Amino acid sequence: MSTAVDATHHDAHHDHKPSGIGRWLFTTNHKDIGTLYLWFSLIMFFVGGAMAMVIRAELFQPGLQLVEPHFFNQMTTVHGLVMIFGAVMPAFVGLANWMIPMMIGAPDMALPRMNNWSFWILPFAFCILLGSLFSAGGGPAFGWTAYAPLSTQYGGDSTAYFVFSVHIMGISSIMGAINVIVTVLNMRAPGMTLMKMPMFVWTWLITAFLLIAVMPVLAGAVTMLLTDTYFGTSFFDAAGGGDPVMYQHIFWFFGHPEVYIMILPSFGIVSAIIPAFARKKLFGYSSMVYATAAIALLSFLVWAHHMFTTGMPVFAELFFMYCTMIIAVPTGVKIFNWVATMWRGSLTFETPMLFALAFVILFTIGGFSGLMLAITPADFQYHDTYFVVAHFHYVLVTGAVFSIMAAAYYWLPKWSGYMYDTTLSKVHFWLSVISVNILFFPMHFAGLAGMPRRIPDYATQFADVNQITSIGGFAFGLSQLVFLWVVIKCAQKKGEKADSKPWEGAEGFEWSVPSPAPYHTFEKPPKVE
Amino acid sequence: MSEQQSYYVPASSPWPIIGALGLGLIAWGASTTVIQASAEQDGHGSTVLFAGIGVIVFMLFGWFRDQINESTKGLHNEQLNTSYKQAMSWFIFSEVMFFAAFFGALFYARVIAVQWLGGDSNNAMTNEVLWPEFVAHWPLVNTPGGTETQAMGWYGLPAINTIILLISSVTCHFAHTGLEQGKRKQLTGMLGVTIILGLIFLYLQGAEYVHAYEELGLTLDSGIYGNTFYMLTGFHGLHVTLGTVMLIIMFLRVLKGHFTPDNHFAFQATSWYWHFVDVVWLCLFVVVYVL
């Protein structure tokens, strides 16, 4: 092993940015790859959003209005897949790429070439998935969960495209997660002990573990779908001794940790932003870490709460009900800590803080409706209604997506070197937070009254509530164009120049480097007090 | 953690995006291949699939060539090797979870699904309404739908294969210690034996499949017993194949004089992978064949 590495050797190709398209295609730079991930996720956010607009337009009135039921099913399915695998997860990976090396004082991600590979798989995967919408028989129409036998017997050709695109998305996620874990465990600046790491790094470390543990299980599940559909196996067919319910067990063993994969990094973001704008240290740092780990471990024990109505022994129903409710405890610890951080702080309400505050309140609403759903007998009433749709959109839109927007506003000055347009950003916030509640809150009532999800038509008594919902939906969709405008203005370097630390109360290594962050940071590790 | 050395961050590289293109072609080609095969159409699916595999092989050669050149130039420091080792461990963990999905399916089918179809627990009416003649048993050689087959015993080929793979794990370990102690003869000898044992395993596994298909009538589509049998042994076999290819590459590199007693991550990773494949086989031998 050569221990004395010639430092000058590296500098030769390190002090300049490569130019042209090749910079983006062949890059090994964590900031470039982070930028690619973030732009990709923004594009997918609008693609998935367009599908949501189709859904809301169809549901504006009872009866079939605009699209065929089969196309409606494709829209609900692909909307879900695009938002989960194309928008939310890549956005978090983009944030991890940009921020983690800077937060822990590392020169780059641990495995820079694999990092590039992880990203570039995604455009290919989504070309296949979205391309299947234009194939003869259409795209996947069995719901993003791809339950058998819908996917195995009624999926048509779309099942194959779905399975293989999910396979390569999974490969991308696993490689991305391995990169994050290794970066965090092996690349921290000297003195940066685990319990000194920013919460965002902690939450991503645990998220990455969840990804590596469950993405392969999804790969196994969809492989069984593939062989059931095309190679005559009967994993999910009772005539051959299998069971369609078995698919749901395997899928949700992936699916529930996946839910936390999409929220734990949010917790990290909010834990960075609230202390910055409350000008106080995060309350209960170590309890935050343990709560995150507890949520992650419990996430492996609750999967069947998605399938209370599909047939299980009573013992299992009770087990999964209680385990699910226990998750409220570590989650409550987090909410308490955020509120306690703000207690007697000197609060200011810049846009990142506004989104973080909206996150705390609205995510908690989603958490409470989750508790309602966790109660087995109550779930018999709520299952597969719009109540469920309301619940998971509160945790995913006002939860995950709002935290991503908070992160974007918080770190945009660091990424671009320019302050975003504060007026426009506040317009974006208020339009979003009002319209998102008009969009999702009435869904609770529609669901409690019995309106089933994933159906293009509904009984006439649901007409008013659906009209309100659709108006909220269009408003929320249009509001996001304001966000796009703000981001593009920043990317075009319009506006005020940002200081290296634009937020008075912000802490962390990322604020010790200039804005925009230089192409290479911390080639020599910084000092940790 | 090493304070003084600088971590090697490679310059931009074309290989990752070529790899992404390869995976994209494989995914697209594989989907169109299965669609065309099930519709009994001719088409370009398999061409795209093989093009994708070709691109991946090309990418692997290029990427590893760069990697080996960097390593022999001494650009890889201790910290980077730690990164590689950790990454390989997590990759193997992801493989464990992939197999866990299929072991889980086997467990669920055997302990729950088949028993419920036979009327167990509170499912008397399931049996009564669906297939009243069906009696739960394992291995499921008579499916509710009426497919009949025969079970694969654990003695004979599977037991011999278990012994072969166990020995190969031991020889692989001795090859590794030979490398670490600078005994190159032990290294090449033991590595060669490991490869030969791996190839014998694969050959016998193929013979077992022929036996199952032709004499036992045990096929991929003969119910959940055949499904789990072929999926578990099949994916394991694919991993043994990949492991053997990796061992052969290590063998060629050893012959070229690569690796030193304290710098041989690639060899170590291959050896870990081989032990992992061995452990999977042991679990598989117990729950698929013996029990």
Mean pLDDT, rounded, for A170-196: 97
Residues of B in contact with A106 (CB under 8 A): 7
pLDDT of residue A508: 94
To the query of whether residue A234 is one of the catalytic residues in this protein, the response is no
Minimal CA–CA distance to A209: which of A168, A182, A181, A188?
A181
pLDDT of residue A390: 98
Minimal CA–CA distance to B13: which of A454, A300, A428, A111?
A111
Q: Domains in chain B, start-ordered, CATH in brackets?
A: 1-76 (1.10.287.70), 77-290 (1.20.120.80)
To the query of whether residue A15 is one of the catalytic residues in this protein, the response is no
Chain A: closest CA distance from residue B196 (Å): 30
> Which listed residue (A188, A256, A391, A444) is catalytic?
A256
User: Given pLDDT bands bounded at 50, 70 and 90, which one contains residue B135?
Assistant: very high
User: Given pLDDT bands bounded at 50, 70 and 90, which one contains residue B10?
Assistant: confident
Question: Mean pLDDT in chain B?
Answer: 94
Mean pLDDT, rounded, for A185-205: 96
Buried b (16+ CB within 10 A) or exposed e, B232-257: bbebbbebbbebbebbbebbebbeee
* Neighbouring residues of A11: CB distance < 8 A, sequence distance ≥ 6: none
User: Given pLDDT bands bounded at 50, 70 and 90, which one contains residue A391?
Assistant: very high
pLDDT of residue A7: 38
Residues of A in contact with B78 (CB under 8 A): 1, 3
List the single range of A1-5, A291-295, A392-396, A493-497 with lowest mean pLDDT. A1-5
Interface of A with B in 304-363 (CB under 8 A): 313
Minimal CA–CA distance to B267: which of B199, B191, B205, B153?
B191
Q: How many CA atoms does the CB half-sphere of B252 hold within 13 Å?
A: 5
The beta-carbon neighbor of B16 closest among A117, A213, A235 is A117
Sign of CA dihedral A413, A416, A422, A424: negative
pLDDT of residue B2: 41
CA distances from B74 to B9, B151, B262 (A): 13, 54, 13
pLDDT cut 90: percent of chain B above it: 87
Q: Which residue of A has its CA nearest to B121?
A: A313
Interface of A with B in 177-206 (CB under 8 A): 177-179, 181-182, 185-188, 190
Q: How far apart are CA A67 and CA B138, in angstroms?
A: 48
Using DSSP, state whether A510 is helix, strand or coil: helix
What's the whole-model pTM score?
Answer: 0.95
The beta-carbon neighbor of A220 closest among B102, B116, B260 is B102
CB contact under 8 A, A213 and B28: no
Q: Which residue of B has its CA nearest to A164?
A: B27
Residues of B in contact with A8 (CB under 8 A): none
SS (H, E, C) chain B: CCCCCCCCCCCCCCHHHHHHHHHHHHHHHHHHHHHHHHCCCCCCHHHHHHHHHHHHHHHHHHHHHHHHHHHHCCCCCHHHHHHHHHHHHHHHHHHHHHHHHHHHHHHHHHHHHHHHHCCCCCCHHHHHHCCCCCCCCCCCCECCCCCECCCCCCCCHHHHHHHHHHHHHHHHHHHHHHHHCCCHHHHHHHHHHHHHHHHHHHHHHHHHHHHHHHHHCCCCCCHHHHHHHHHHHHHHHHHHHHHHHHHHHHHHHHHCCCCECCECHHHHHHHHHHHHHHHHHHHHHHHHHHC
> pLDDT tens digit string along A413-472?
999 999 999 999 999 999 999 999 999 999 999 999 999 999 999 999 999 999 999 999
Q: How far apart are CA A218 and CA A223, in angstroms?
A: 8
CA distances from B227 to A231, A426, A511, B140 (A): 10, 57, 56, 11
> pLDDT tens digit string along B82-127?
999 999 999 999 999 999 999 999 999 999 999 999 999 889 999 9
Radius of gyration of chain B, Cα coordinates, nearest whole angstrom: 23
Q: Is the pLDDT of residue A16 over 90?
A: no
To the query of whether residue A306 is one of the catalytic residues in this protein, the response is yes
Mean pLDDT, rounded, for A156-164: 94
Q: Is the pLDDT of residue A47 over 90?
A: yes
List the single range of A39-43, A279-283, A464-468, B5-9 with lowest mean pLDDT. B5-9
Interface test with A, best of B21, B28, B95, B259 (most A CBs within 10 A): B28
Residues of B in contact with A14 (CB under 8 A): 9
Minimal CA–CA distance to B80: which of A107, A489, A242?
A107
- Which string of DSSP letters, residue by residue, matches A136-161? TT-S--STTTT-TTHHHHS-TTHHHH
Interface test with B, best of A100, A228, A233, A520 (most B CBs within 10 A): A233
Minimal CA–CA distance to A306: which of A292, A324, A291, A333?
A324
A130 interface with B at CB cutoff 8 Å: no
For A25-512, which CATH class? mainly alpha
**Cβ–Cβ < 8 Å for A103, A34:** no
Question: Mean pLDDT in chain A?
Answer: 94
Mean pLDDT, rounded, for B53-81: 92
CB contact under 8 A, B77 and A182: no
To the query of whether residue A305 is one of the catalytic residues in this protein, the response is yes
What tokens appear for B218 in the block?
């045990």
Q: What is the dihedral of CA A212, A246, A300, B97, to 10 degrees?
A: -30
- The ipTM (two decimal places) reads 0.95
Q: Is the pLDDT of residue A314 over 60?
A: yes
For helices A199-230 and A89-104, angle between their N-to-C axes, nearest 10 degrees? 150
pLDDT of residue A327: 96
CB contact under 8 A, A1 and B34: no
To the query of whether residue A415 is one of the catalytic residues in this protein, the response is no
User: Given pLDDT bands bounded at 50, 70 and 90, which one contains residue B75?
Assistant: confident
Domain boundary assignment for chain A: 25-512
pLDDT of residue B5: 55
Q: Is the pLDDT of residue A2 over 80?
A: no
- Which string of DSSP letters, residue by residue, matches A411-462? HHHHHHSB---HHHHHHHHHHHHHHHHHHHHHHHHHHHTTPBSS-S---GGG
Q: Which long-range contacts (CB under 8 A, 24 or more apart) does B246-251 make?
A: B246/B270, B246/B273, B246/B274, B247/B172, B247/B191, B247/B194, B247/B195, B247/B198, B247/B274, B248/B195, B250/B191, B251/B188, B251/B191, B251/B192, B251/B195
User: Given pLDDT bands bounded at 50, 70 and 90, which one contains residue A15?
Assistant: low
**Cβ–Cβ < 8 Å for B86, A182:** yes
**Cβ–Cβ < 8 Å for A476, A74:** no
